[in-house]
Amino acid sequence: MSYYRLLVVSHAVDTGGAERGIIRKLRNIDRDMFEPSFACPCEGPVTHELEKLGINIYSGHPSKRLLDVRRRSLGENRLAIALYPLAFLASVVRLTQLIRREKFDLVVTESAKANIYGTLAGWLARRPVVNQIHDIFEAPVFSDLNLWLVKTVASHFASRIISNSEASKRALVDLGVPRDKIHTVYYGIDMEIARNTRKAADVRMELGIDPDAPVAGMVGRLVDWKGPDYFIRAAAKVAETVTGARFLMVGDAVHGEKSYVDTLKSLCGELGMADRIVFTGFRDDVLDIVSAMDVMVHASVLPEPFGLVLIEAMAEGRPVVATKGGGVPEVVEDGVTGLLVPPRDVEAMAEAITTILGDRKRAAEMGAAGLKRVSELFTVEEMARGMEREMLKALEGR
Ligand code: UDP
């Protein structure tokens, strides 16, 4: 059997949805066929998990200093602007040398920044490169320069591209990346882990929630585009009509923006919801918590490229209320596995949550349909096979 040395490149080592995807894929790809290593700027939760899988880590690609330079800071520092392209180039060259020295057969880039520097390095080392796309590349979320870079690198230097939804694929095609290079492979979840969650009653007790209370919860980074404030406002409306309803906010603000949590808590106070909403902070037992909810709410105000939390809820047999945009309609079947509502529409969100909380039979049916859909379409096995398929095609095209 063939045996390929694979270098996965990412600039992100915290555990967001995309990074979880890296761990899940590398845990599940055929290790008789691919021997993975991981290149990243520094250690973090992702490298710790990958080390447990016996995967080699190459830190310092690129240097953390290079990543720390933000556009805003560049704007204030002319010397940094002048030197940035050089520093960037030096990083690409160092990665190229690593690929050659360690005789990697194939490079997979796993983050928006790595799609640029990793692809150029792989191309310079004359190795096939597969770009994994986790974002919907469009303005105004990404700058014109960023979009131009993504388009140019994906079109001319990457061998194949994996998009995480048809929505993220469409955005690339609209940018001008050749359609036939891009194939969608959906994120997946480990159904075995999803089946083995703690008892909902125990989780509720730990969170101070009555076993019979109707519970709606949101899971995700507390950043404004995920819409936590819309969820809080909708929760306040639901609380007016659903007796005893409680709400969960699962997740934390991102590094450097911790004050956003205080803003959200003040909003709860203003709306008289302080006693009704539990802020759990970051949890590494999301599946347990989701299985203790009656409905999970996804409130993103921008198009969500995929939304891992959606399949996590569905894998726990929970119906979802989600804002319609990006890849969400590919994941949630409206009216069947959950209810889709327009983004930024507090009334519609509250109504959908109230409908599900008020009809246990329908909620159970939607939950069951969601579980079936995840088992058929969104498993780690499917995700890993999709990645292997694209990697083999890239190798064939060498
Ligand atoms: N998550 C977590 N703990 C938390 C909040 C979120 O582990 O307290 C996980 C969540 O279960 C999911 C991921 O973070 O696996 C978020 O992925 P998603 O695709 O929904 O959003 P992203 O953060 O990638 O935009």
pLDDT in tens, 166-209: 999 999 999 999 999 999 999 999 999 999 999 999 999 999 99
Q: How far is Cα 310 from Cα 313, in angstroms, rounded to an integer?
A: 5
CA of 283 relative to ligand 1 center, distance in Å = 10
Here the CATH number for the domain that contains residue 152 is 3.40.50.2000
pLDDT of residue 219: 98
* Pocket flag, ligand 1, residue 219 (CB < 6 Å): yes
pLDDT of residue 84: 79
pLDDT of residue 398: 74
Q: Which token pair is 243?
A: 């007796």
Do residues 84 and 220 both lie within one domain?
Answer: no
Q: Which token pair is 202?
A: 């125990």
CA of 1 relative to ligand 1 center, distance in Å = 36
pLDDT of residue 55: 97
Do residues 141 and 216 both lie within one domain?
Answer: no
Do residues 320 and 359 both lie within one domain?
Answer: yes
* Pocket flag, ligand 1, residue 366 (CB < 6 Å): no
pLDDT of residue 241: 96
Instruction: Report which ligand 1 atom has the smallest distance to the Cα of 286.
Output: 11
Do residues 161 and 208 both lie within one domain?
Answer: no
pLDDT of residue 18: 85
pLDDT of residue 15: 73
pLDDT of residue 69: 59
CA of 312 relative to ligand 1 center, distance in Å = 9
Do residues 151 and 173 both lie within one domain?
Answer: yes
| Closest C-alpha to 306, from 286, 333, 324, 328 | 328
All residues at 6 or more sequence positions from 140 whose CB lies less than 8 Å from its CB, including other chains: none
CA of 45 relative to ligand 1 center, distance in Å = 13
Q: How far is Cα 135 from Cα 355, in angstroms, rounded to an integer?
A: 32
* Pocket flag, ligand 1, residue 254 (CB < 6 Å): no
* Pocket flag, ligand 1, residue 253 (CB < 6 Å): no
Residue minimizing CA distance to atom 7 of ligand 1: 284
φ/ψ of residue 319, rounded to 5: -70, 155
Range 354-358 contact pairs with CB under 8 angstroms and sequence separation of 24 or more: 354/237, 354/238, 354/241, 354/242, 356/216, 356/294, 356/295, 356/319, 356/321, 357/214, 357/216, 357/238, 357/242, 357/245, 357/294, 357/295, 358/242
Do residues 105 and 140 both lie within one domain?
Answer: yes
pLDDT of residue 78: 72
pLDDT along the chain (398 residues), means of 10: 89 84 94 96 94 96 72 61 82 96 98 94 98 95 93 97 98 97 96 94 96 97 96 98 97 88 97 97 96 98 96 98 98 98 98 98 98 97 97 91
Do residues 140 and 233 both lie within one domain?
Answer: no
pLDDT of residue 2: 60
The total of structural domains in the chain comes to: 2
pLDDT of residue 17: 79
Do residues 42 and 177 both lie within one domain?
Answer: yes
Do residues 336 and 269 both lie within one domain?
Answer: yes
Q: Which token pair is 225?
A: 């585009």
CA of 296 relative to ligand 1 center, distance in Å = 13
pLDDT of residue 360: 96
Most ligand 1 atoms within 8 A of CB, residue of 141, 219, 284 to mutate: 219
The domain containing residue 226 runs over which residues? 191-377
All residues at 6 or more sequence positions from 301 whose CB lies less than 8 Å from its CB, including other chains: 224, 225, 226, 227, 230, 323, 343, 344
pLDDT of residue 255: 76
Q: Where are the alpha helices (DSSP H) in the chain?
A: 17-28, 45-52, 64-68, 71-76, 78-101, 112-124, 144-156, 166-175, 191-195, 200-207, 228-241, 259-270, 286-291, 308-315, 328-331, 346-358, 360-377, 380-396
pLDDT of residue 257: 86
φ/ψ of residue 370, rounded to 5: -65, -45
Do residues 370 and 386 both lie within one domain?
Answer: no
Residue minimizing CA distance to atom 23 of ligand 1: 16
pLDDT of residue 124: 97
Q: Identity (one letter) of the amino acid at 105?
A: D
Do residues 104 and 239 both lie within one domain?
Answer: no
Do residues 14 and 113 both lie within one domain?
Answer: yes
CA of 305 relative to ligand 1 center, distance in Å = 13
